[in-house]
Structure 1
């Protein structure tokens, strides 16, 4: 784990304007800088970068965050890689804290990437010298240009072919990266033999693994690199490095099952496709793609295996759904996969399928659940509720969860509140009812929103809030979460650090709205005066609310209905006015 104090130091020392300008040209516009957003297509600038607050926000697509977020989104790196990249750019070394619940992973030696690059060049050269392998790729419709773009090569049918370029073949580095296997007797031999080789490229553009496909009939049809210090297949997607710019430009990522599907689609102009690496779609895949785009389409074969893969993808996606993001599912007819379909019918026909026949996640989920039971019987509806429970409980996106709960409740013939009671889950629709009096309580959302904005601009103001301070109302949970975070650290988090901390949490949307408003506040805006004004208004509103509740109780039972302590508080509130 990377210590939070280091993240704070890193963000304090970085200049987000300088970081963004490495990738996107910015223009000065008042106190901020603007550009056409790099995350969606637009003709006029809606992407704004604040040098004083050290965050960016797009008013068009909603992209937002700190310098770390920008590098993650634009370059396609994971959090740790993005932090390391930025730290390196300003000469900082990233410290680590050990996690008690995590096994120590092997250290990546610097030369392992060189080993993989040498092997990649060797396989590319071998492809040029193998008429049989070239002919195979031609029969699959692959052009030389697309093979070059993806670094496609060929592993010869020899037991120790790699010895030709690795004089130290017996050394442990080739075994460590999965290119060589060591038998029980200590003999070493190439893992990949007589296979078309597809390099798997990581977020930094370095080869981290390989996928090898047999030319003729044979098993396994696809052979992937094993888990190594460089490669963890559950976290990587084939073709993502090549596809990331197109994914952002098209506003869509297409997930398919095979390397050849990705390459064939790219050759026909569909350059936003990626493939899982011989494993089910994992939560890491979902999170990585949803950081890059608002729409992910899963395209699977229509056979039983394809349907199982689709359902597994849905199950892994549910906890990571975000309102405003779309996940859809497309099933091809049994005689086709994306590779064969696009070669036979072309780009336009394939994209027509994506637009018209891909099912939204909600439609796919309800269709599958409905197909498992007989909704005409009580037993069938009861079974539906049992099948749906773990799925609905897993969803944290509020709007998506609410709508799906309503749909399932309607299918089962029960009310929404009955479904929520049956599942033992908290209702997403809060009833309006009076609440008991508490000190320092207020409800006006405008005041809370303004308070949140003040705390983001001047985090140190959190220390001026009263002890055991509470608020209620729209936006209250986000305010309290930020206050708690600001109070638990000895160091003073910056605006960028606070925004970074709440990325991907239930409070992110509240902070996004706050960011947009903050960019409209001029540099001369008196944040301290605004903070104290809002705080005083909240206190007055809390006093009024408490008096209102006391008056209601006194009308019912008189002053004798109040305890001695409550009467003292009541008199104190009257004196305060």
Structure 2
């Protein structure tokens, strides 16, 4: 199928965009344009504009932008070709075929849809007949009303190997096999696939029947049987109830993913219309993409049993590589042994809404899953936990999201393994404060453990000494690009002096909003602020012996190459961030050793002391790198 730019332009010109959008969104005229509250994000004041002359819409709140085709794909959840076909039908245009083979394929698919629709009609007729009494009783016991039964198109496949084949004999047998209605095995006569089952049509995004799910009536296996993959139906690219859930989600700003179609139907019976389900498989990348086109953070609500929770974790693993800023998953946990049908029967829609409100973000679900995976009593078990968590983070392709996941896991690990110590132990003057979550660790020095050398005391958990902060800010003023590149690390620093902390905060805010800043540009933005004088003072200072603090002409000699200075500055930032953390762990190890006096505790303390001393040597080397 070849769609030339000229043909697409003609299609757009025949569609009145405000009329198209006005079918689902209330629009009002505003001069030569139309305005509306944006359907893609929550707002009370209209910022969504529609320009019929130019043929596009734009939201000044969330930047949603597009034409008639984009509206159909983003707002209706259709594929590009389905959107084009629907608009072409409205505009009275024929969609061109690239060649006779494409036209033949399109004709064959249309014929297969005739088969599936005819089958759906016949199944519905059977459910309403005298033969359907047991199936209707089953639906009544499940609490499914007649209105819901009709809305979802329930039907009945009689317990016969040839009833459907006979009812659809106007279609060639080969076509019935291709549509998944019959089973053909070797040279045997094809026979009905669905027998003795409650039939549920599966529809595409446009509401057309493309396949079926059958729930057995009585005993037998499998309990649920879906159509095989056909030219119309790819179970990995289809979500049950998408045609109804997509418009409902625009009202709720939510999509709930449940395990199966009976869960979807039970929720619909309770008035919850924004639910979808995969079809017998774990969520695929394609299905995740379909869901994310509707909402940025869908809620997965799988059964509370072991199988349901395993399915939730499989979905989490599948989603990790695809995460991007703003797009993730949330997980609602049902009571053990319950599915959505059980819950809404017991507690109604309000009870289900409470479960959804308590949904965990993906990062929390991963953390809880791994912490519960086994004991954490030994160093090896704790190290294994860290390895598993970081492996999850490393699976994320987006660099920013991956970085924040690693930071989130690191913070949780620090808090989990920080242990409370006796409160009355004396405070060692040189020891840094305990890390967050350690509840004020205090200890007395062991005779074999000497405090750090005097020159290393400038970095502690209580904050960084003023000369080191001055050197840092001076370097960042000269090389502002390091602000953006090291934003996360810089925000972790503890700067005791409020004036310096305010200056560093202002510099970070500016750098985040301005790309390509140089020293002069940064100073120009700082000039109206009260921190400007402090900034110029640090730039004039000559007593900071680091390569990144050298002015172009100074008594220290010529400034180094910018790439050398920038490399040294980033290493310096790494030392300032890492050494307080090592000091905190060193304090903890020292306290542990004082309590246990075991060889393992001593070895840990010595390893951390060696790391601390190495960082101190790196700091000294960076100072010497200026040539002093």
* C-alpha deviation, 1:242, in angstroms: 1.6
Give the deviation of 1:160 after TM superposition. Answer: 0.9
The answer for the alignment partner of 1:120 in structure 2 is 120
Q: Could you say which structure has the larger radius of gyration?
A: 2
Q: How does 1:303-452 map to 2 (within 5 A)?
A: 303-325=305-327, 327-356=329-358, 358-375=359-376, 377-396=378-397, 400-413=401-414
The alpha-carbon distance between structure 1 residues 433 and 238, as it changes in their structure 2 partners (threshold 3 A), is farther
**Partner Cα distance (2:89, 2:321) in 1:** 33
| Distance of aligned partners of 1:66 and 1:432 in 2 relative to their CA distance in 1, 3 Å threshold | farther
User: Mean alpha-carbon deviation: is it higher for 157-166 or for 368-377?
Assistant: 368-377
- Aligned in 2, Cα 1:66/1:405: closer, same or farther, shift over 3 Å? farther
Answer 1 or 2: higher relative contact order, Cα 8 Å, separation at least 6: 1
TM-score between the two structures when normalised by the length of structure 2: 0.61
Task: Give distance in 1, aligned partners of 2:310 and 2:196.
Answer: 31
1:73 paired to 2:71: no
Match of 1:163 in 2: 165
Tell me which residue corresponds to 1:190: 192
User: What is the alpha-carbon distance in structure 1 between the residues aligned to residue 230 and residue 98 of structure 2?
Assistant: 20
2:390–2:409 Cα contact (<8 Å) kept: no
Give the drift of 1:120: 0.5
- Aligned equivalents of 2:389, 2:88: Cα separation in 1: 45
What CA distance in whole angstroms lies between the structure 2 residues aligned with 1:249 and 1:39?
A: 10
Distance 1:179 1:376, change over 3 A: same
Q: Unpaired runs of 5+ in structure 1?
A: 98-104, 415-430, 438-442, 444-471, 478-548, 563-577
Q: Distance in 1 between matches of 2:171 and 2:10?
A: 47
Q: Secondary structure at the match of 1:134?
A: helix
Number of aligned positions between the proteins: 431
User: In structure 2, what is the Cα distance between the partners aligned to 1:13 and 1:475?
Assistant: 41
Partner of 1:10: 8
Q: Is the 8 A contact 2:33 2:49 kept in 1?
A: yes
Quick one: distance in 1 between partners of 2:33 and 2:392? 44
Question: In structure 2, do the counterparts of structure 1 residues 476 and 378 end up closer, same or farther at CA, with 3 Å as the change threshold?
Answer: same
- Which residue is 2:276 aligned to? 274
C-alpha RMSD over aligned residues:
3.7
Residue of structure 2 in register with 1:546 after alignment: none
Is the 2:109–2:232 contact (alpha carbons within 8 Å) kept by the matching residues of 1?
no
Q: Does 1:221 align with 2:219?
A: no
Q: CA 1:46–1:473 in 2, change beyond 3 Å: closer, same or farther?
A: closer
Q: CA deviation at 1:192?
A: 0.5
**Aligned-pair CA distance for 1:379:** 2.0
Residues 113 and 406 (structure 1 numbering): CA distance in 2 closer, same or farther, change over 3 Å?
A: same
Q: What is the DSSP-based 3-state SS (H/G/I as helix, E as strand, rest coil) of the residue aligned with 1:301?
A: coil
Deviation at 1:239, TM superposition (A): 1.1
1:556-567 to 2 correspondences below 5 Å: none
1:178–1:225 contact (8 Å) kept in structure 2: yes
Q: 1:209 aligns with which of 205, 208, 211?
A: 211
Alignment of 1:469-488 (within 5 A): none
Equivalence for 1:200: 202
Deviation at 1:162, TM superposition (A): 1.2
Could you list the per-position Cα deviations for residues 294-344 of structure 1 after superposition, in whole angstroms to 9, with x for gaps in the alignment?
A: 331111112221111001111122233343345211222233211122122
Q: Following TM superposition, by how much is the alpha carbon of 1:374 offset from its aligned partner in structure 2, in angstroms? A: 4.6
Q: Which residue of 2 aligns with 1:48?
A: 49
Compare 177-186 and 148-157 and name the one that shifted more: 177-186
Residue in 1 that maps onto 2:303: 301
C-alpha separation in 2, matches of 1:119 and 1:273: 25
Equivalent position SS for 2:332: strand
Answer yes or no: is the 8 Å Cα contact 2:165–2:182 preserved in 1. Answer: no
1:396 CA displacement: 4.4
User: For the structure 1 residues 10 and 49, does the alpha-carbon distance in structure 2 shift closer, same or farther, using more than 3 Å as the test?
Assistant: same
Q: Secondary structure at the match of 2:282?
A: coil
Distance change (3 Å), C-alpha of 1:552 and 1:382: same
Partner deviation per Cα, 1:450-490 (whole Å, 9 max, x = no partner)? xxxxxxxxxxxxxxxxxxxxxx996879xxxxxxxxxxxxx
Per the TM alignment, residue 8 of structure 1 is displaced from its structure 2 partner at its CA by: 8.3
1:126-176 deviations in whole A, cap 9, x for unaligned? 001111111111111111100100111111111111134312465211111
Q: Secondary structure at the match of 1:295?
A: coil
Paired residues for 1:85-104 under 5 Å: 85-86=86-87, 91=93, 93=95
Counterpart Cα distance in 1 of 2:95 and 2:115: 25
Separation (CA, whole Å) in 2 of partners of 1:394 and 1:293: 23
Q: Note the C-alpha offset of 1:195.
A: 0.5
Matched, 1:22 2:20: yes
Cα pair distance change 1:207/1:335, threshold 3 Å: same
Assess, with a 3 A threshold, how the Cα gap between structure 1 residues 280 and 111 changes in structure 2: closer, same or farther: same
Q: CA deviation at 1:389?
A: 3.8
What 5-or-longer segments of structure 2 have no aligned partner?
100-104, 416-474, 485-510, 517-547, 563-628
Distance 2:82 2:189 in 1: 36
What does residue range 231-250 of structure 1 map to in structure 2 within 5 Å?
231-250=233-252
Distance 2:67 2:269 in 1: 36
